[in-house]
Structure formats: structure tokens, C-alpha cells
């Protein structure tokens, strides 16, 4: 935040709740990307795969997702593998 900018108490609450629920927000975004990837073709699919990679990079889980598994899914562009990973993450809660 730049010097001199301050958030109101209401805005601070919004920001706090966003970061509190960030994992759920990213997981929901990843679920939506997976369903979009199932029907996407061409340049649209390329864009969606980039967004999925960014979202997976931001997602912090406990225990962490093995980087080798993520890279294998992204390199092979395996929608079924991505869907399985998202299902496992969703089951973790």
C-alpha cells in the first residue's frame, strides 16, 4: 500500500476475510478452470492452462502437493489428472 492510503475498518474486514478464505477461493477457481478446460480448444485452452498453473502455484495446502505431480499434469495437459487432484484437494477440506 502506498504512503498515505488507509483502509476503513469495513475495508480491513473485507481484506482480512479474503485472506482467511483464500484457500477455498483458489480451490473454487481451480474447479471452475477444470470444467472449462474439459470443453476448451486451441488458444482458449492455452490460456486456461496458464491460469490453472498460476492458481496451483498460489494454492497452499497441508501437506503440500508434490511439485512433480503438478508439473506432470501441467506438461501433459491432463484434464482428468487435474480433476482428480482437485477432487483430492476438495476432500481434504
Q: pLDDT of 20-36, one tens digit each?
A: 999 999 999 999 999 99
**Distance between CA 17 and CA 6 in Å, rounded?**
17
Per the CB < 8 A criterion, the answer to whether 37 and 49 are in contact is yes
Q: What does the pLDDT average to over 40-68?
A: 94
pLDDT at 2: 62
pLDDT at 63: 87
What is the maximal distance between C-alpha atoms in the chain? 48
Per the CB < 8 A criterion, the answer to whether 23 and 61 are in contact is yes
pLDDT at 1: 53
**Distance between CA 43 and CA 19 in Å, rounded?**
32
pLDDT at 3: 67
Provide the whole-model pTM: 0.84
Amino acid at each position: 500500500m502506498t504512503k498515505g492510503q488507509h483502509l476503513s475498518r469495513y475495508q480491513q474486514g473485507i481484506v482480512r476475510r479474503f485472506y482467511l478464505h483464500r484457500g477455498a477461493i483458489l480451490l473454487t477457481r481451480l474447479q471452475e478452470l477444470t470444467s472449462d478446460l474439459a470443453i476448451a480448444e486451441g488458444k482458449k485452452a492455452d490460456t486456461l492452462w496458464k491460469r490453472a498453473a498460476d492458481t496451483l502455484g498460489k494454492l497452499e495446502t497441508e501437506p503440500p502437493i508434490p511439485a512433480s505431480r503438478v508439473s506432470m499434469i501441467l506438461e501433459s495437459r491432463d484434464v482428468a489428472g487435474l480433476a482428480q487432484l482437485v477432487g483430492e484437494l476438495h476432500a481434504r477440506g
